[in-house]
Structure 1
Amino acid sequence: MSEPAAERAPSGPAGLSPLRRTLLDQLAEPASASELARRLGLPRQRINYHLRELERLGLVELVDERRRRGFVERRVRAVDRDRHSSAYLYTAASRLAADVAALRRRAAAAGRPLATFTLELDIDFASPAAMGEFLDELAAATRTIAARHHRPDDPRARRHRLVIGAHQAITDPPEEAAP
Protein backbone atom coordinates (compact mmCIF):
# COMPACT_ATOMS: atom_id res chain seq x y z
CA MET A 1 0.00 0.00 0.00
CA SER A 2 1.39 3.39 -0.94
CA GLU A 3 1.23 6.09 1.73
CA PRO A 4 1.30 9.82 1.00
CA ALA A 5 4.83 11.19 1.31
CA ALA A 6 3.85 13.42 4.24
CA GLU A 7 2.88 10.37 6.26
CA ARG A 8 5.89 8.17 5.57
CA ALA A 9 8.39 8.26 8.41
CA PRO A 10 11.78 8.98 6.97
CA SER A 11 14.37 6.45 8.05
CA GLY A 12 16.88 7.66 10.58
CA PRO A 13 16.91 11.10 12.15
CA ALA A 14 15.06 12.92 9.39
CA GLY A 15 11.86 13.03 11.45
CA LEU A 16 8.37 11.91 12.10
CA SER A 17 5.37 13.02 10.08
CA PRO A 18 2.87 15.41 11.68
CA LEU A 19 0.35 12.54 11.93
CA ARG A 20 2.82 10.33 13.81
CA ARG A 21 3.68 13.17 16.19
CA THR A 22 -0.05 13.68 16.78
CA LEU A 23 -0.46 9.96 17.51
CA LEU A 24 2.40 10.07 20.03
CA ASP A 25 0.78 13.07 21.72
CA GLN A 26 -2.54 11.19 21.86
CA LEU A 27 -0.90 8.10 23.38
CA ALA A 28 -0.01 9.49 26.79
CA GLU A 29 -2.77 7.09 27.88
CA PRO A 30 -3.25 3.68 26.22
CA ALA A 31 -5.53 3.59 23.18
CA SER A 32 -6.33 1.33 20.25
CA ALA A 33 -6.27 2.20 16.56
CA SER A 34 -10.09 2.26 16.61
CA GLU A 35 -10.20 4.70 19.52
CA LEU A 36 -7.64 6.98 17.87
CA ALA A 37 -9.41 6.80 14.52
CA ARG A 38 -12.67 7.98 16.12
CA ARG A 39 -10.85 10.75 18.01
CA LEU A 40 -8.99 12.00 14.94
CA GLY A 41 -11.67 11.33 12.32
CA LEU A 42 -9.39 9.09 10.23
CA PRO A 43 -9.72 5.51 8.93
CA ARG A 44 -8.71 2.83 11.46
CA GLN A 45 -6.50 1.08 8.88
CA ARG A 46 -4.51 4.26 8.32
CA ILE A 47 -4.03 4.77 12.07
CA ASN A 48 -3.10 1.12 12.54
CA TYR A 49 -0.43 1.37 9.83
CA HIS A 50 1.22 4.33 11.58
CA LEU A 51 0.95 2.74 15.02
CA ARG A 52 2.79 -0.34 13.72
CA GLU A 53 5.54 1.87 12.34
CA LEU A 54 5.82 3.79 15.63
CA GLU A 55 6.00 0.46 17.44
CA ARG A 56 8.73 -0.72 15.06
CA LEU A 57 10.69 2.47 15.85
CA GLY A 58 10.33 1.81 19.58
CA LEU A 59 8.23 4.91 20.18
CA VAL A 60 5.07 3.08 21.28
CA GLU A 61 4.65 -0.13 23.24
CA LEU A 62 1.93 -2.75 23.50
CA VAL A 63 -0.13 -2.42 26.70
CA ASP A 64 -2.64 -5.20 26.20
CA GLU A 65 -4.71 -7.16 23.70
CA ARG A 66 -8.40 -7.92 24.12
CA ARG A 67 -11.06 -9.61 22.07
CA ARG A 68 -13.73 -7.25 20.75
CA ARG A 69 -16.39 -8.06 18.18
CA GLY A 70 -14.55 -11.08 16.83
CA PHE A 71 -11.10 -9.54 16.47
CA VAL A 72 -8.17 -8.77 18.72
CA GLU A 73 -7.87 -5.12 19.67
CA ARG A 74 -4.33 -3.98 20.50
CA ARG A 75 -3.94 -1.04 22.87
CA VAL A 76 -0.62 0.83 22.83
CA ARG A 77 0.88 3.85 24.55
CA ALA A 78 3.81 6.16 23.90
CA VAL A 79 6.98 5.06 25.61
CA ASP A 80 8.06 7.04 28.65
CA ARG A 81 8.71 10.64 27.65
CA ASP A 82 10.96 11.60 30.52
CA ARG A 83 14.18 13.48 29.98
CA HIS A 84 16.25 10.28 30.18
CA SER A 85 14.24 8.36 27.56
CA SER A 86 16.01 7.71 24.26
CA ALA A 87 12.60 7.61 22.56
CA TYR A 88 11.81 11.10 23.85
CA LEU A 89 15.17 12.38 22.56
CA TYR A 90 14.47 10.74 19.19
CA THR A 91 11.02 12.35 19.02
CA ALA A 92 12.41 15.79 19.94
CA ALA A 93 15.25 15.45 17.41
CA SER A 94 12.76 14.33 14.75
CA ARG A 95 10.56 17.34 15.43
CA LEU A 96 13.63 19.60 15.30
CA ALA A 97 14.68 18.18 11.92
CA ALA A 98 11.17 18.47 10.49
CA ASP A 99 10.68 22.03 11.79
CA VAL A 100 14.04 23.23 10.45
CA ALA A 101 13.36 21.61 7.07
CA ALA A 102 9.99 23.41 6.83
CA LEU A 103 11.53 26.71 7.92
CA ARG A 104 14.34 26.33 5.36
CA ARG A 105 11.76 25.85 2.59
CA ARG A 106 9.84 28.95 3.74
CA ALA A 107 13.00 31.04 4.02
CA ALA A 108 14.17 29.94 0.56
CA ALA A 109 10.77 30.74 -0.94
CA ALA A 110 10.92 34.20 0.64
CA GLY A 111 14.55 34.69 -0.42
CA ARG A 112 15.60 35.29 3.17
CA PRO A 113 18.15 33.66 5.44
CA LEU A 114 17.01 31.47 8.33
CA ALA A 115 18.49 32.48 11.69
CA THR A 116 19.51 29.46 13.75
CA PHE A 117 22.29 28.55 16.13
CA THR A 118 23.89 25.29 17.14
CA LEU A 119 26.01 24.33 20.11
CA GLU A 120 27.61 20.91 19.94
CA LEU A 121 30.20 19.48 22.31
CA ASP A 122 31.32 16.20 23.87
CA ILE A 123 31.50 15.69 27.66
CA ASP A 124 32.99 12.71 29.51
CA PHE A 125 30.84 11.92 32.58
CA ALA A 126 32.37 9.83 35.36
CA SER A 127 29.03 8.19 36.18
CA PRO A 128 25.29 8.30 35.47
CA ALA A 129 24.91 10.31 38.68
CA ALA A 130 27.38 12.91 37.37
CA MET A 131 25.38 13.13 34.16
CA GLY A 132 22.19 13.64 36.17
CA GLU A 133 23.81 16.39 38.24
CA PHE A 134 25.01 18.10 35.05
CA LEU A 135 21.52 17.87 33.55
CA ASP A 136 19.93 19.43 36.66
CA GLU A 137 22.44 22.30 36.61
CA LEU A 138 22.04 22.81 32.86
CA ALA A 139 18.23 22.89 33.14
CA ALA A 140 18.34 25.42 36.00
CA ALA A 141 20.86 27.66 34.21
CA THR A 142 18.89 27.47 30.94
CA ARG A 143 15.63 28.44 32.69
CA THR A 144 17.37 31.41 34.36
CA ILE A 145 18.92 32.65 31.11
CA ALA A 146 15.70 32.10 29.15
CA ALA A 147 13.69 34.08 31.72
CA ARG A 148 16.04 37.06 31.26
CA HIS A 149 15.56 37.06 27.48
CA HIS A 150 11.91 35.95 27.12
CA ARG A 151 9.76 38.81 25.78
CA PRO A 152 6.25 37.44 25.12
CA ASP A 153 4.65 40.91 25.16
CA ASP A 154 7.06 42.54 22.71
CA PRO A 155 5.35 42.74 19.29
CA ARG A 156 8.77 42.41 17.61
CA ALA A 157 9.57 39.18 19.48
CA ARG A 158 9.80 35.96 17.49
CA ARG A 159 9.36 32.67 19.30
CA HIS A 160 12.22 30.16 19.13
CA ARG A 161 12.39 26.55 20.32
CA LEU A 162 15.50 25.38 22.17
CA VAL A 163 16.18 21.66 22.13
CA ILE A 164 18.98 20.28 24.26
CA GLY A 165 19.68 16.57 24.04
CA ALA A 166 22.55 14.27 24.82
CA HIS A 167 23.50 10.75 23.78
CA GLN A 168 26.59 8.67 24.06
CA ALA A 169 29.11 9.55 21.38
CA ILE A 170 29.87 6.89 18.81
CA THR A 171 33.59 6.28 19.18
CA ASP A 172 34.13 2.74 17.79
CA PRO A 173 33.37 1.35 14.35
CA PRO A 174 30.23 -0.86 14.55
CA GLU A 175 32.14 -4.12 14.20
CA GLU A 176 34.42 -3.22 17.14
CA ALA A 177 31.84 -1.74 19.48
CA ALA A 178 31.22 -3.58 22.71
CA PRO A 179 27.67 -4.91 23.24
Structure 2
Amino acid sequence: MEDVAVIEDPAAAEVSLDPIRNRLLAELAVPGSAAMLAGKVGLPRQKVNYHLRALEQHGLVRLVEERRKGNVTERMMQATAASYVISPSAMAAVAPDPERAPDRLSARWLLALAARLVREVGTLISGGAKAQQRVATFAIDGEVRFASPGDRAAFAEELTTAVTDLLGRYHSETGRKHRIVVAVHPALDSAAAPQPETPGRDGEER
Protein backbone atom coordinates (compact mmCIF):
# COMPACT_ATOMS: atom_id res chain seq x y z
CA MET A 1 0.00 0.00 0.00
CA GLU A 2 1.27 3.45 -0.94
CA ASP A 3 1.15 6.35 1.51
CA VAL A 4 -0.45 8.64 -1.08
CA ALA A 5 -1.87 7.87 -4.51
CA VAL A 6 -2.77 10.43 -7.16
CA ILE A 7 -6.08 10.10 -9.00
CA GLU A 8 -5.75 11.49 -12.52
CA ASP A 9 -8.60 9.71 -14.28
CA PRO A 10 -11.93 11.62 -14.16
CA ALA A 11 -13.96 8.41 -13.82
CA ALA A 12 -11.81 7.23 -10.90
CA ALA A 13 -12.18 10.64 -9.27
CA GLU A 14 -15.96 10.42 -9.58
CA VAL A 15 -15.96 6.93 -8.05
CA SER A 16 -13.77 7.99 -5.13
CA LEU A 17 -15.98 10.98 -4.25
CA ASP A 18 -19.07 8.86 -3.66
CA PRO A 19 -19.63 9.03 0.15
CA ILE A 20 -20.11 5.28 0.57
CA ARG A 21 -17.09 4.38 -1.56
CA ASN A 22 -15.05 7.03 0.22
CA ARG A 23 -15.96 5.36 3.54
CA LEU A 24 -15.03 1.95 2.15
CA LEU A 25 -11.62 3.26 1.09
CA ALA A 26 -11.03 4.51 4.63
CA GLU A 27 -12.08 1.16 6.13
CA LEU A 28 -9.85 -0.72 3.70
CA ALA A 29 -6.67 0.75 5.10
CA VAL A 30 -6.57 -2.80 6.46
CA PRO A 31 -7.77 -5.77 4.38
CA GLY A 32 -11.43 -6.62 4.62
CA SER A 33 -14.18 -8.49 2.81
CA ALA A 34 -17.64 -7.37 1.75
CA ALA A 35 -19.13 -9.30 4.66
CA MET A 36 -16.78 -7.63 7.14
CA LEU A 37 -17.47 -4.19 5.71
CA ALA A 38 -21.25 -4.59 5.53
CA GLY A 39 -21.73 -4.22 9.27
CA LYS A 40 -19.38 -1.26 9.48
CA VAL A 41 -21.08 0.80 6.80
CA GLY A 42 -24.62 -0.42 7.42
CA LEU A 43 -25.25 -1.89 3.97
CA PRO A 44 -26.12 -5.40 2.69
CA ARG A 45 -23.11 -7.45 1.60
CA GLN A 46 -24.34 -7.49 -2.01
CA LYS A 47 -24.45 -3.69 -2.08
CA VAL A 48 -20.95 -3.49 -0.61
CA ASN A 49 -19.74 -5.90 -3.28
CA TYR A 50 -21.19 -3.61 -5.94
CA HIS A 51 -19.22 -0.64 -4.61
CA LEU A 52 -16.06 -2.70 -4.19
CA ARG A 53 -16.22 -3.80 -7.82
CA ALA A 54 -16.43 -0.17 -8.90
CA LEU A 55 -13.43 0.75 -6.75
CA GLU A 56 -11.46 -2.25 -8.01
CA GLN A 57 -12.27 -1.43 -11.64
CA HIS A 58 -10.61 1.96 -11.22
CA GLY A 59 -7.58 0.68 -9.33
CA LEU A 60 -8.53 2.14 -5.96
CA VAL A 61 -8.69 -1.22 -4.18
CA ARG A 62 -7.03 -4.53 -4.96
CA LEU A 63 -7.45 -8.17 -4.11
CA VAL A 64 -4.94 -9.30 -1.47
CA GLU A 65 -6.28 -12.73 -0.53
CA GLU A 66 -9.04 -15.24 -1.23
CA ARG A 67 -10.42 -17.33 1.61
CA ARG A 68 -12.59 -20.39 1.14
CA LYS A 69 -15.52 -20.62 3.56
CA GLY A 70 -17.66 -23.63 2.77
CA ASN A 71 -19.14 -23.06 -0.68
CA VAL A 72 -18.24 -19.38 -0.66
CA THR A 73 -14.96 -17.71 -1.61
CA GLU A 74 -14.35 -14.59 0.48
CA ARG A 75 -12.36 -11.92 -1.35
CA MET A 76 -10.15 -9.84 0.94
CA MET A 77 -9.66 -6.37 -0.49
CA GLN A 78 -7.37 -3.50 0.49
CA ALA A 79 -7.12 0.12 -0.61
CA THR A 80 -4.17 0.78 -2.90
CA ALA A 81 -3.14 3.77 -0.76
CA ALA A 82 -3.66 5.18 2.71
CA SER A 83 -4.61 8.56 1.23
CA TYR A 84 -5.65 9.88 -2.16
CA VAL A 85 -5.20 13.21 -3.92
CA ILE A 86 -7.32 14.12 -6.93
CA SER A 87 -5.13 15.80 -9.52
CA PRO A 88 -6.43 18.89 -11.35
CA SER A 89 -5.76 16.88 -14.51
CA ALA A 90 -8.97 14.99 -13.70
CA MET A 91 -10.74 18.25 -14.64
CA ALA A 92 -8.28 19.32 -17.31
CA ALA A 93 -10.69 21.55 -19.22
CA VAL A 94 -11.28 23.78 -16.19
CA ALA A 95 -8.04 23.26 -14.25
CA PRO A 96 -6.49 26.52 -12.99
CA ASP A 97 -3.56 27.85 -14.97
CA PRO A 98 -1.14 30.18 -13.13
CA GLU A 99 0.09 31.51 -16.48
CA ARG A 100 -3.24 33.23 -17.10
CA ALA A 101 -2.83 36.01 -14.55
CA PRO A 102 0.46 35.86 -12.62
CA ASP A 103 0.19 38.00 -9.50
CA ARG A 104 2.32 37.03 -6.54
CA LEU A 105 0.04 38.96 -4.17
CA SER A 106 -3.09 37.07 -5.19
CA ALA A 107 -4.35 34.19 -3.09
CA ARG A 108 -6.10 32.77 -6.15
CA TRP A 109 -2.84 32.76 -8.09
CA LEU A 110 -1.23 30.91 -5.19
CA LEU A 111 -4.04 28.36 -5.42
CA ALA A 112 -3.40 27.99 -9.15
CA LEU A 113 0.29 27.40 -8.42
CA ALA A 114 -0.62 24.76 -5.83
CA ALA A 115 -2.92 23.06 -8.33
CA ARG A 116 -0.13 22.95 -10.90
CA LEU A 117 2.19 21.54 -8.23
CA VAL A 118 -0.27 18.74 -7.46
CA ARG A 119 -0.75 18.01 -11.16
CA GLU A 120 2.94 17.93 -12.06
CA VAL A 121 4.17 16.05 -8.99
CA GLY A 122 1.24 13.66 -9.31
CA THR A 123 2.24 12.88 -12.88
CA LEU A 124 5.85 12.38 -11.78
CA ILE A 125 4.75 10.02 -8.99
CA SER A 126 2.60 7.98 -11.38
CA GLY A 127 5.43 7.77 -13.90
CA GLY A 128 7.95 6.92 -11.21
CA ALA A 129 5.76 4.13 -9.88
CA LYS A 130 5.49 2.56 -13.33
CA ALA A 131 9.25 2.80 -13.82
CA GLN A 132 9.87 1.72 -10.22
CA GLN A 133 11.92 4.84 -9.59
CA ARG A 134 11.73 7.46 -6.87
CA VAL A 135 11.09 11.08 -7.78
CA ALA A 136 13.83 13.49 -6.63
CA THR A 137 12.07 16.32 -4.78
CA PHE A 138 12.74 18.61 -1.85
CA ALA A 139 10.36 20.61 0.33
CA ILE A 140 10.43 22.79 3.43
CA ASP A 141 7.40 23.35 5.64
CA GLY A 142 7.48 25.79 8.54
CA GLU A 143 5.58 28.45 10.44
CA VAL A 144 6.48 32.00 11.39
CA ARG A 145 4.62 34.70 13.29
CA PHE A 146 4.99 38.29 12.12
CA ALA A 147 4.67 41.09 14.65
CA SER A 148 3.27 43.43 12.00
CA PRO A 149 2.31 43.61 8.31
CA GLY A 150 5.50 45.60 7.80
CA ASP A 151 7.60 42.72 9.12
CA ARG A 152 5.80 40.36 6.80
CA ALA A 153 6.48 42.61 3.80
CA ALA A 154 10.16 42.88 4.77
CA PHE A 155 10.35 39.10 5.11
CA ALA A 156 8.85 38.67 1.64
CA GLU A 157 11.40 41.06 0.15
CA GLU A 158 14.35 39.31 1.81
CA LEU A 159 13.00 35.92 0.77
CA THR A 160 12.63 37.13 -2.83
CA THR A 161 16.20 38.43 -2.84
CA ALA A 162 17.60 35.21 -1.37
CA VAL A 163 15.75 32.94 -3.81
CA THR A 164 16.64 35.14 -6.79
CA ASP A 165 20.30 35.01 -5.75
CA LEU A 166 20.22 31.20 -5.48
CA LEU A 167 18.54 30.87 -8.88
CA GLY A 168 21.17 33.10 -10.43
CA ARG A 169 24.05 31.12 -8.92
CA TYR A 170 22.80 27.62 -9.70
CA HIS A 171 20.84 27.99 -12.94
CA SER A 172 22.42 26.25 -15.92
CA GLU A 173 21.41 26.11 -19.56
CA THR A 174 22.04 22.35 -19.46
CA GLY A 175 20.75 19.63 -17.17
CA ARG A 176 17.20 18.77 -16.10
CA LYS A 177 14.81 21.62 -15.46
CA HIS A 178 13.31 21.88 -11.98
CA ARG A 179 10.46 24.03 -10.73
CA ILE A 180 10.67 25.97 -7.47
CA VAL A 181 7.59 27.30 -5.69
CA VAL A 182 7.85 29.41 -2.53
CA ALA A 183 4.61 30.39 -0.80
CA VAL A 184 3.63 32.33 2.29
CA HIS A 185 0.02 32.32 3.49
CA PRO A 186 -1.86 32.65 6.79
CA ALA A 187 -1.89 29.32 8.62
CA LEU A 188 -5.26 27.85 9.53
CA ASP A 189 -5.70 27.35 13.25
CA SER A 190 -8.19 24.70 14.34
CA ALA A 191 -9.04 26.81 17.36
CA ALA A 192 -9.71 30.04 15.49
CA ALA A 193 -10.06 31.30 11.94
CA PRO A 194 -7.39 33.67 10.59
CA GLN A 195 -8.14 37.32 11.29
CA PRO A 196 -8.85 39.68 8.35
CA GLU A 197 -6.11 42.12 7.46
CA THR A 198 -5.56 44.71 4.73
CA PRO A 199 -7.33 43.74 1.46
CA GLY A 200 -5.07 43.08 -1.52
CA ARG A 201 -5.51 44.11 -5.13
CA ASP A 202 -8.22 41.56 -5.82
CA GLY A 203 -10.08 42.27 -2.60
CA GLU A 204 -8.73 39.20 -0.77
CA GLU A 205 -7.29 39.25 2.72
CA ARG A 206 -3.51 39.27 2.91
Aligned residue for 2:10? 5
Displacement of 1:170: 1.7
* Cα shift at 1:22: 6.8
| Offset of residue 171 of structure 1 | 2.1
Rounded to whole Å, the distance in 2 between the matches of 1:178 and 1:150 is 37
For these two proteins, the number of residue pairs brought into alignment is 116
Kept after mapping to 1: 8 A contact 2:97/2:116: no
Whether the 8 Å CA contact 1:16–1:91 is kept in 2: the answer is no
- Name the counterpart of 2:68: none
The alignment yields a C-alpha RMSD, in angstroms, of 3.0
Inter-CA distance 118–178: structure 2 relative to 1 (3 Å threshold): closer
Match of 1:131 in 2: 152
After TM superposition, the structure 1 = structure 2 runs for residues 82-161 of structure 1, keeping only pairs within 5 Å, are 82-152=103-173, 154=174, 157-161=175-179
CA contact (8 A) 2:188 2:194 kept: no
Q: What percentage of residue pairs aligned between the two structures are identical? A: 29
- The amino acid of 1:110's aligned partner reads A
TM norm structure 1: 0.55
Displaced runs of 4 or more, over 4 A: 8-11, 21-26
Task: For residues 96-131 of structure 1, give each alpha carbon's deviation from its aligned partner in whole angstroms, at most 9, with x where no partner exists.
Answer: 011111000111111111100011110111122211
Aligned twin of 1:19: 93
Residue ranges of structure 1 left out of the alignment (5+ in a row): 29-80
Structure 2: where are the runs of 5+ without partners? Answer: 1-8, 18-84, 196-206
- C-alpha change, 1:141 and 1:95, in structure 2 (3 Å) is same
With over 3 angstroms needed to count, the CA separation of the structure-2 counterparts of 1:83 and 1:124, relative to structure 1, is same
CA contact (8 A) 1:104 1:114 kept: yes
- 1:15-54 aligned at under 5 Å gives the runs 15-17=87-89, 18-21=92-95, 25=99, 28=101
Quick one: which amino acid aligns to residue 158 of structure 1? R
Is the contact between residue 128 and residue 134 of structure 2 (CA under 8 Å) also seen in structure 1? yes
Distance 1:117 1:151 in 2: 19
- Residue in structure 2 matched with residue 33 of structure 1 by the alignment: none
Shift of the 107–15 alpha-carbon distance from structure 1 to 2, 3 Å rule, reads closer
What is the deviation of 1:168? 1.1
Partner of 1:62: none
Once residues 106 and 119 of structure 2 are traced to their aligned partners in structure 1, the CA distance between those partners, rounded to angstroms, is 20
Please state how far the C-alpha of 1:163 moved relative to its aligned partner: 0.6
Inter-partner Cα distance in structure 1 for 2:143 and 2:97: 33
Larger of the two Rg values belongs to structure: 2
